[in-house]
Amino acid sequence: MVSTILGRKLGMTQVFDENDNVVPVTVIQAGPCVISQVKTKATDGYDAVQIGFGDIKSKHVNKPMAGHFAKASVEPMRTLREVRVEDGSQFNTGDVVSVADFAEVASVDVTGTSKGKGFQGTIKRWNFHRGPMTHGSRNQRKPGSIGQCAYPARVRKGLHMAGHMGDERVTVKNLKLVQVDAEQNIMLVKGAVPGGKNAIVSIRMA
């Protein structure tokens, strides 16, 4: 069994559990994902499968990728990811990974790209405290001292400073899988997952 499936984040809503408690959930359209390549230890040195998700017009596929899909005898797909498996010889190109495979799964790990927030200062990016707002202070949102004097006479690497925030790979682990709808390829995951609406996420069995 392939332990990972690709999906698209549709948004958030809330459902009620068996005790009538409100549960905030993220709605993910997961799969179906088609296997477009199989790797084994004999051919590649490790076992893995390549899965694809999302439709794409053939005119938007370049010639190398068009040949890759034609070799596997599958339709072109927009997003491809490689997933490690225990024995690659058990799978064939064209096999489908669907949300039905996650029907008995209790929790999942979701990986995605977080929302980009642009260039941010130290207060928003690293939760620094601001300076005093009164008595002539000129240090409200400045970073403050960033180093020593004569020694080492430089700014140490890794110092928390202003810079680009967000837009990075984030994994949220052990999220409860609340519901799986195999007919509509929908899964409801408790809590928030990285990315905005329509973001591509990877869901792995925890």
Q: Is the dihedral of CA 139, 142, 148, 154 positive or negative?
A: negative
pTM of the model: 0.85
The residues with which 202 forms a beta bridge, in sequence order, are: 6, 111
Decide: 88 and 95 in contact? Cβ < 8 Å: no
Show Cβ contacts of residue 32 under 8 Å, excluding neighbours closer than 6 positions: 96, 97, 98, 185
Is 90 exceeded by the pLDDT of residue 51? yes
Mean pLDDT, range 147-165, rounded to an integer: 92
Question: What letter would DSSP give residue 184?
Answer: T
Asked if residue 1 has pLDDT above 90, the reply is no
What per-residue confidence (pLDDT) applies to 31?
83
Radius of gyration of the chain (CA): 23
What's the residue count for the chain?
A: 206
| Confidence bin at 148 (pLDDT 50/70/90) | confident
Mean pLDDT of the chain: 94
Which residues have C-beta within 8 Å of that of residue 171, sequence separation ≥ 6?
109, 110, 111, 194
CB atoms within 10 A of CB 80: 17
